[in-house]
Homo-oligomer: A and B are copies of this chain.
Amino acid sequence: MSQLSKSLIVLVLAAAAGTTLAQQAAPKPENLIKWRQSAYQVLAWNSGRIKANVEGNYNKDDVVRAANSTAAIANSGLGALFAPGTETGKGWHDTAAKPELFKDGKRVGELAGNFTREANELAKVAADGDAATVKEQFGKLSRTCKACHDDFKVKEDRQ
């Protein structure tokens, strides 16, 4: 079979699958890095808001919004943003992920699971509006952030 025939078959099969090459293309590594850096910034915004609430005047609605956003991002499938090919590179800035993050999937999965569990619990207690309980749960959540940063994020503050 000629090379041209083979190429034509590939094109026909792709068309039959109802997809275009553009649709099949995976996002570029620099986009994945930019998106994960963005997701963590939204988490930082929410975290700062919750902190200001539990340390100052408590506004239940604001805390609920921030906690729900945090939980939804925790459950959004952030792991996909650490796909192979994103170990190094630049999104908004050079990635702050340590190389170890991409090698110890078991430990990373465990830490990510802790983060998601505590974020879900925060959204739950925020809905009840008890500031003291929210403050305690926010502390638990923050410690899951720190646990991962300690092991897998470069120390330099790039933000």
State the A residues within 8 Å of B (CB): 18-19, 23-24, 27, 31, 34-35, 37-39, 41-42, 44-46, 48, 52, 55-56, 62, 65-66, 68-69, 71-73, 75-77, 81, 92
Q: Give complex CA distance A77, B66 in Å.
A: 8
Count of this chain's copies in the oligomeric assembly: 2
Q: List the B side residues contacting A92 at CB < 8 Å.
A: 92
B77 touches A42 (CB 8 A): no
Distance in Å: Cβ of A114 to nearest Cβ of chain B: 18
Between-chain CB contacts (< 8 Å), 27 pairs: A23-B52, A23-B55, A27-B48, A31-B45, A34-B41, A35-B41, A35-B42, A35-B44, A37-B38, A38-B38, A38-B39, A38-B41, A38-B42, A38-B45, A39-B42, A39-B45, A42-B76, A46-B76, A65-B75, A65-B77, A66-B76, A68-B72, A68-B76, A69-B73, A69-B75, A71-B72, A72-B72
The minimal Cβ–Cβ distance linking A144 to chain B, given in whole angstroms, is 19
Among all A-B residue pairs, the 6 with the closest Cβ atoms:
A72-B72, A38-B41, A38-B38, A69-B76, A35-B45, A69-B72
